[in-house]
Amino acid sequence: MQETKPVIILLGPQGSGKGTQGKRLAQKLDLPYLETGQLLRDEIASGSELGNRFASIINSGWHLEDEDINAFMKDTIHQTLVQFGGFALDGFPRSIGQADASDSVALPSHVILIDIPDEESIRRLSARRQCSVDGKIYNMITNPPKQGEVCDECGAKLIQRADDTKEGIQKRLDWYHKDTKPLIERYAKQGVLHRIDGTPSIQEVEKSVDKIFS
């Protein structure tokens, strides 16, 4: 009988480390890791009509509405589920409407909330840098490059993303509290929510996440 693979959703404010933990967890469980932000950036980079529309919205300082992203992510989730049987999903859903869309394709077996205070989120994200060539993310506090502000892989200059200013971070946190926090109650009622303190070291948070699947 084929083993049922987990369907994992990662929640948490920006800078909580859910991306780092999601990637590590997916590797351990032999699951594909779906990073919504990267999927959207890939679509934008492709120059498709949909990607150009996404770029226009994001560059104007707004976030994508449910109707913009639901169809895009539902198709991705369905294809991944058919091919791999499970996944770890970061960045979607972020609202009740998006959760309805996600659940219509695959109900989550685990929802992992990695939580940190707003002040810590701003501190961490203000120190975030991205490779100007390959897009790899570093953090000058928690995950710095080996030398200066250049990429470990290609040696290209690291840059600060335009939305990683204090004002930009706070704007995204406001969206998070308004749109995403209601999901916590939803998944708690479903009995699949696991809350993790994201303030310790990456290694300590990883241990807490691992306990969920041990």
Give the H or E element holding residue 172.
Answer: helix 166-175
Q: Domain for residue 64, yes or no?
A: yes
Residue 206 lies in a domain: yes
Sign of the Cα pseudo-torsion (133, 131, 121, 103, in order): positive
Domain tally for the chain?
A: 1
Describe the strand order of the beta sheet including 158-159 as a list of residue ranges. 137-139, 128-131, 158-159
pLDDT of residue 213: 93
Contact (Cβ atoms closer than 8 angstroms) between residue 15 and residue 119: no
Q: What is the pLDDT of residues 36-83, one digit of tens each?
A: 988 988 989 999 988 898 889 888 877 788 888 998 999 999 999 999
pLDDT single digits (tens) 112-151? 999 999 999 999 888 889 998 888 888 888 788 998 889 9
CATH of the domain at 72: 3.40.50.300
Residue 205 lies in a domain: yes
Q: Is residue 121 part of a domain?
A: no
Q: Is residue 143 part of a domain?
A: no
Using one digit for the tens of pLDDT, what is the confidence trace for 140-195?
Answer: 887 889 988 899 989 999 998 877 788 888 988 998 888 888 999 999 999 999 99
List all residues 6 or more positions away from 143 whose beta carbon is below 8 Å from its beta carbon. 20, 137, 202
Looking up tokens 């083993």, which residue turns up? 3
The answer to whether position 172 is within a domain reads yes
In a domain, 148, yes or no: no
87 in a structural domain? yes
Q: Distance between CA atoms of 74 and 163, rounded to whole angstroms?
A: 26
Residue for token pair 């351990």 = 28
Strand pairing of 7-11 and 137-139? unpaired
Range of the domain at 17: 7-114+166-213
